[in-house]
Amino acid sequence: MDKVSIVDVSPRDGLQNEPIWVPTEKKIKLINLLAETGMKQIEATSFVHPKKVPQMADAEEVIQACSSLQDVEITALIPNVKGYERASQFSIHEVNWVTAATETFNQRNIGRSINENFNEFTKIIANKEKTSLKICFSIAVSFGCPYEGEVNPDVVLALVERAVAAGADRIGIADTIGIADPEQTNRLLSRVLEITGELPVSIHLHDTRGLGLTNAYAAFQAGVRIFETAASGIGGCPFAPGAAGNLATEDLVYMFHRMSVDTGINFDRLLDAADYAASLSSKTPLGRIRQVERKK
């Protein structure tokens, strides 16, 4: 039986764009509900400056509360060396370093050029032996950018090659604005996997145009086995105008279970977590299967 890993990012990507403060205890409750589903990896927060993303101002408190979780790998997004230093004070499994495939998005999101950002990345790679933290190198707007339009896949592949050579522990490919189609997804991920070899590769999908699930299937067909999604499909990027929520975790799990692909996740408990995630969002969640199952 095929097996996949799902990383639920709803506590971070799902909530980061919420205009009204989500209390820390509610973020922690969402993480606990996700852990109860059997989810093995959860992206809990982002160590970003609170002026940039006010919703993540309680990163330390959220991460500290995760220390009691058993059999769950907690990850956190970091935008710079300062974020890495903050994250490394805690017992977490992995940090997710983000770059972008276009200069404009990188400047808007991180405030520096792609090369400047990569130079910062090499600094934390040089020090990673001093901690037990794994480092994922994620490439935002890998398929299309809200400022520069279509992205040349060769630019993405060149960044993958550089990150692999530098010593990244995982490569993440993100469709930040939900612009990809299945053929495009399959082509790019097939080429990425040729570069990475045995190194884990994940795909992060937004469902802006309703193609998230088909793109996940296309990535699966290419050989990807790690998927980043958000319970109930909540989310959006503060630096990507028009970007809708993430692919819903429960939609992806439902599809894989129908395909007899092992996710290790209890679907009924996942629906409970998705209901709670939806209650925290100010927008209509994108998840579909939850609405169908709850009407039975």
> Is 136 an annotated catalytic residue?
no
Per the structure block, which two tokens stand in for 34? 């996700």
Phi then psi dihedrals of residue 193, to 5 deg: -65, -30
Closest CA to 124 of 176, 76, 67: 76
E runs forming strands in the chain: 5-8, 41-46, 73-78, 94-100, 134-140, 144-145, 149-150, 170-175, 201-205, 226-229
Spatial separation of the C-alpha atoms in residues 167 and 181, rounded to whole Å: 30
* DSSP result, 32-89: HHHHTTT-SEEEEEE---TTT-GGGTTHHHHHHHGGG-SS-EEEEEESSHHHHHHHTT
Spatial separation of the C-alpha atoms in residues 242 and 234, rounded to whole Å: 14
Catalytic, out of 66, 136, 145, 237: 237
Place of tokens 């109930």: 232
Spatial separation of the C-alpha atoms in residues 253 and 274, rounded to whole Å: 12
Number of Cα atoms under 13 Å in the Cβ half of residue 9: 28
Spatial separation of the C-alpha atoms in residues 216 and 181, rounded to whole Å: 10
Helical H runs in 127-180?
A: 153-166
Place of tokens 């770059």: 99
Task: Write out the catalytic residue numbers.
Answer: 237
